Amino acid sequence: METVSDFFGKLVFDDRVMKAKLSSDVYQSLKKTIDQGAKLDISVANAVASVMKDWAVENGATHYTHWFQPLTGITAEKHDSFISPAPDGRVIMEFSGKELIKGEPDASSFPSGGLRATFEARGYTAWDPTSYAFIKGKTLCIPTAFCSYGGEALDKKTPLLRSMEALNKQALRILKLFGNTDVKHVSTSVGPEQEYFLIDREMYEKRKDLIYTGRTLFGAKPPKGQEMDDHYFGVIKPRVAEYMEALNKELWKLGILAKTEHNEVAPAQHELAPIYTTTNIATDHNQLTMEIMQKVAQRHGLVCLLHEKPFAGVNGSGKHNNWSIATDTGVNLLTPGDTPHENAQFLLFLCAVIKAVDDYQDLLRLSVATAGNDHRLGANEAPPAVVSIFLGDELTAILEAIENDEPYSAAEKTTMKLGVDVLPKFPRDTTDRNRTSPFAFTGNKFEFRMLGSSNSIACANMMLNSAVAESLKIYADRLENADNFEEKLHEMIKKTIKDHKRIIFNGNGYDDAWIEEATKNRGLLNYKTTPDCMPHLLDKKNVEMLTSQKVFSEAELKSRCEIMLDNYCKTLIIEATTMADMARKEILPAVESYALEIANTAAAKKSVIAGISTEYEEELLKKLTCEAQQISVKTDELNEEIMKVKDISDIEEKSYAIRDGVLVKMNELRAVADEAETVTAEKYWPFPTYGDLLFGIK
């Protein structure tokens, strides 16, 4: 019987394959490129390409593609076959180092935000050797970066890799000051928990809103939702279990470390969590995971919904980004050590994160901003739009003791003088998992809970890496020039705690009193929607930090701001147009048909029994007629708002107009249509209801 260890990673050109199939010299040279960023020699590239091609063909591949992540939010690929003509009329299978390293796909139809003119069609893909190639179907997929003819990043991988290098550079400076000269590389690791919904495919195909937008635009609340808390961690239904089993096998073949699976809070909602891995690889894996989740669902007669809020009234889906920093020697820099030296180092990295989150809370908020996630944040199921850090009582008490130069009340009182007296070692799991906090410390990592389920994790991690790199740079600049290292270190940590303690909050993030305290008393930001936060990407402090860390150019930042706002506008216009179409073509005819039946019933009763009361029918007919009229009026008003925004050329102005006009009318139309659903006979309602969708899988 085949076991997981027999097929795990069988479709990945990983280190095991490279070590077995490449010559020792080629393998060592490639490892140097992967681990240390050394330049890749073309002769090495040719050797790798030849072996990679042979391995791929042995495993059934006929084509190759440079697999990249453009600013559409999904992945892209252009397939080329390995075949080349032979003189005798046959074909041979070839793949060169040049083809491995660089591709030239047409970039004209990908979002660029003004980085290139429409006629400048050429783009380049460049191999990322730090992320293993893999086989998907019959195609060898080579993870790559994607840039324009002028060299600007047109993807999410390039700035992510830049941010990882920025953090590595600054972290090495800090570690050197603590005497850790054996460390050659520092990287961030991520484990993204992925939430999703599963619904029956036949029902999905009867709803235009799900097909066109990924979420239900109409739907009255069913008699039962998640009130009983009986779905969370409940027994997994056989059909769902079969899906999860098939999904795991597909992911494991691709070397994706799928670890945990369970039912989530809402009916039909589930979660998958992987084991941590290096951030850029975790990003590639998460993009693959979302794609494979949807493909496997199709094979099981299901549809996997990754929208942040596919159903109103029940929990939406997020993606919890568990983030940590580690050295190539195996040390997690967010784990307290056993000595004063290690404790001080831990506290400095902890303070770097605290400072980064406070200084760049706007960047973290906008890194997760989408039209879909706007429905979820702050909805008593996900963190609020206000960014804060949860540290737990013990760690917070330690920081307060340092700030005030007071003894810390532990097993024995210890003065918080860093590098001189021992900081009490505290247990790894000293904090609870505060699910209301956007950014929670959970023992040896931070859990950033604001990401939406369909988000690429690249955006959040590139901002987090960059902000922490900036904190570490400031610290390194000061410490390298200090006359007394220990005194400067203590002074700097103390100052960081004092200056940035406003961002630390260990209470209930759902409490309205917290939002008021955060914004009015602490001065924290509360950007509730994408148009509120996205323009702040171009604030002077953000541009200066991201360009100085060499993560983005100013032109790249401007392009991303425009693209994200454009995506917001297009998403809501598609949703609004779909709503108007469904209201006119499906909901109104259904309500009118039922009204006609009620009218005919009343007339028939009167004709059969003289003087019989038809009060019930008359009241219901009046209500249905009123509802139909309101649906018609609200549909017309929505269409008028759609027409108003079409001629607005400035994308920022357009996003505000859609938020304040189109979205308001969408909510008004939904309210009257959902009310009509509650009084219309089930046989007339034109598409599956919430009850059907949420409880349809047996």
Find the range with the poorest average confidence among 88-97, 370-379, 381-390. 88-97
Contact 448, 363 (CB under 8 A): no
Q: Cβ–Cβ contacts within 10 Å for residue 493, how many?
A: 22
DSSP conformation letters of 261-287: EEE-SSTTEEEEEEPPEEHHHHHHHHH
Hey, what are 37's tokens? 């960023």
Query: Rounded distance, CA 143 to CA 152, Å?
Result: 18
Where are the chain's structural domains?
4-155, 163-552, 567-694
Contact 362, 525 (CB under 8 A): yes
DSSP bridge pairs for 92: 84
Residues 6+ apart with CB under 8 A from 151: none
pLDDT range class, residue 89, cuts 50, 70, 90: low
Contact 641, 634 (CB under 8 A): no
Question: Are β-strands 439-441 and 389-390 bridged in parallel, bridged antiparallel, or unpaired?
Answer: parallel
In this prediction, residue 413 carries a pLDDT of: 44
Contact 542, 520 (CB under 8 A): no
Evaluate the CA torsion angle 417, 419, 423, 426 in order and state its sign: positive
Query: Rounded distance, CA 11 to CA 181, Å?
Result: 37
Q: Does residue 441 or residue 38 have the better pLDDT?
A: 441
pLDDT range class, residue 91, cuts 50, 70, 90: low
Query: Rounded distance, CA 164 to CA 188, Å?
Result: 7
106 phi and psi, to 5 degrees?
Answer: -70, 125
In this prediction, residue 411 carries a pLDDT of: 45
In this prediction, residue 401 carries a pLDDT of: 81
Give 132-162 pLDDT, tens digit per residue: 999 999 999 999 999 887 788 889 999 999 9
pLDDT range class, residue 107, cuts 50, 70, 90: low
Q: Does residue 430 or residue 593 have the better pLDDT?
A: 593
Give 460-502 pLDDT, tens digit per residue: 999 999 999 999 999 999 999 999 998 899 899 999 999 999 9
Structural class in CATH, domain 4-155: alpha beta
pLDDT (average), residues 543-562: 96
Contact 106, 67 (CB under 8 A): no
Hey, what are 435's tokens? 């699910």
Contact 27, 34 (CB under 8 A): no
Contact 278, 15 (CB under 8 A): no
In this prediction, residue 103 carries a pLDDT of: 84
Q: Does residue 308 or residue 101 have the better pLDDT?
A: 308
Q: Does residue 53 or residue 115 have the better pLDDT?
A: 53
Examine the pLDDT at 420 and tell me if it is beyond 60. Answer: no
Query: Rounded distance, CA 123 to CA 107, Å?
Result: 5
Give 13-44 pLDDT, tens digit per residue: 999 999 999 999 999 999 988 887 778 889 99
In this prediction, residue 422 carries a pLDDT of: 43
Query: What's the topology of domain 163-552?
Result: Creatine Kinase; Chain A, domain 2 (3.30.590)
Q: Cβ–Cβ contacts within 10 Å for residue 127, how many?
A: 22
pLDDT mean across residues, the chain = 91
pLDDT range class, residue 412, cuts 50, 70, 90: very low
CATH of 567-694, one of 1.20.120.1560, 2.102.10.10, 3.60.21.10, 3.30.2270.10: 1.20.120.1560
CA angle, 374 as apex, 370 and 376 as ends, to 5°?
Answer: 120
CA 66 to chain CA centroid, nearest Å:
22
DSSP conformation letters of 36-90: H-PPPPHHHHHHHHHHHHHHHHHTT--EEEEEB-BTTSS-B--EEESEEE-TTS-
* Rg, the chain, Cα only: 28
Q: Find, among 588, 597, 577, 600, the residue nearest to 685 by Cα.
A: 588
Side-chain-side CA neighbours of residue 380 (13 Å): 6
In this prediction, residue 404 carries a pLDDT of: 84
Query: Rounded distance, CA 491 to CA 595, Å?
Result: 76
109 phi and psi, to 5 degrees?
Answer: -100, 5
Q: Is 145 helix (H, G, I), strand (E, B) or coil?
A: strand
Calculate what percentage of the chain has a pLDDT beyond 90: 74
In this prediction, residue 450 carries a pLDDT of: 96
Find the range with the poorest average confidence among 213-217, 234-238, 350-354, 380-384. 380-384
Hey, what are 326's tokens? 């580690």
